[in-house]
Amino acid sequence: MKVLPFKIPKPEGNALIYQEDCEYVFYDKFHQHEEIQVSLIENGEGTLIVGDTINYYQKGDIVVIGSSLPHVFKSEVNTNIKSNMLSLFFTKDAFGNAFFDLEELKELRPFFRNTENGFKTVSNTKLSDLFYRLKAATKLQQFILFLEILKSLSKAKRKRLSSFVYDKQYTDLEGKRMGDIMEFTMNNYKESISLESVATVAAMTNNAFCKYFKKRTNKTYFKFLNELRVENASKLLLTNSDLSIAEIAYKSGFNNISNFNRQFKIIKGYSPKEFKKLKLI
């Protein structure tokens, strides 16, 4: 199983990497890479974990993942529709150490300031067109389009993806441990998860695991778990009008409706009923 850190396949001599992903399920292992990632979700939806934060992505979103920022795309499963993602990968010094410090490129500085925590914005017609033009472009044309995309993203309204960034690279051992924890959590969050079970996955004692997870995410494991469950519930509230709030709570891993309502209000700022009416996500 591939785990952190992850290497982006890079043809020799290429400073800018363009990649198209067309799969029923995106690469769903918790991973990080040196390259900054800029992606258009052409089709598909699912959960996106970036650093310590649970997010939701859908068709039309543009997602920016900063260098070495741990993340995982968890596509919706049990679907006959493929997910499509168009991506650019690059490092800030890929074109020379001082390239992006040139005065001519000062308009791009807001983009780089916001990559550390990652961000998401909704594509507009111009941005979508720039991404689609990458498909048939020459290397030079791709580079010109790349600068246009960064310019547009520097001015776009954005939502920060992660509230906390662990400032150290994961070692292979740490990467495997965190990858195993995330994979276990995302595969089992709809069921009951005990501290003992997740600590066993991490091959740690309960106390050591709690300290380990808190240090690397700035939150407790069960706060993270509740956020994942609430994010799933919020999606169901907006897309499954036939389900009752109680049914959604149980489908999202809560076995107590009062606790579900309380956790939902803490995380989203609204009760489930209010959230459904406001159509917020």
| CATH number of 35's domain | 2.60.120.280
- pLDDT, tens digit, for every residue of 68-104? 898 988 887 666 778 899 999 999 999 999 999 999 9
Per the structure, the count of domains in the chain is 2
Q: What is the pTM of this model?
A: 0.77
Using a pLDDT cut of 90, give the percent of the chain over it.
61
Domain finish residue from 115, 144, 160: 160
- Region 201-215 average pLDDT: 95
Residue 89 and residue 15: Cα distance in Å, rounded? 9
The CATH number of whichever domain residue 221 belongs to comes to 1.10.10.60
Classify residue 167: in a domain, yes or no. Answer: no
Taking alpha carbons only, the member of 107, 116, 122 closest to residue 59 is: 122
pLDDT given at position 3 = 37
- pLDDT, tens digit, for every residue of 145-192? 999 999 999 999 999 998 776 566 667 777 788 889 998 998 899 999
Containing domain of residue 195, as a range? 189-278
**Residues 54, 147 within the same domain:** yes
**Residues 112, 228 within the same domain:** no
pLDDT given at position 168 = 60
CB atoms within 10 A of CB 79: 13
**Residues 142, 252 within the same domain:** no
Residue 210 and residue 195: Cα distance in Å, rounded? 9
**Residues 194, 123 within the same domain:** no
Residue 112 and residue 228: Cα distance in Å, rounded? 28
Residue 111 and residue 114: Cα distance in Å, rounded? 5
Instruction: Pick the more confident residue, 6 or 202.
Output: 202
Using a pLDDT cut of 70, give the percent of the chain over it.
91
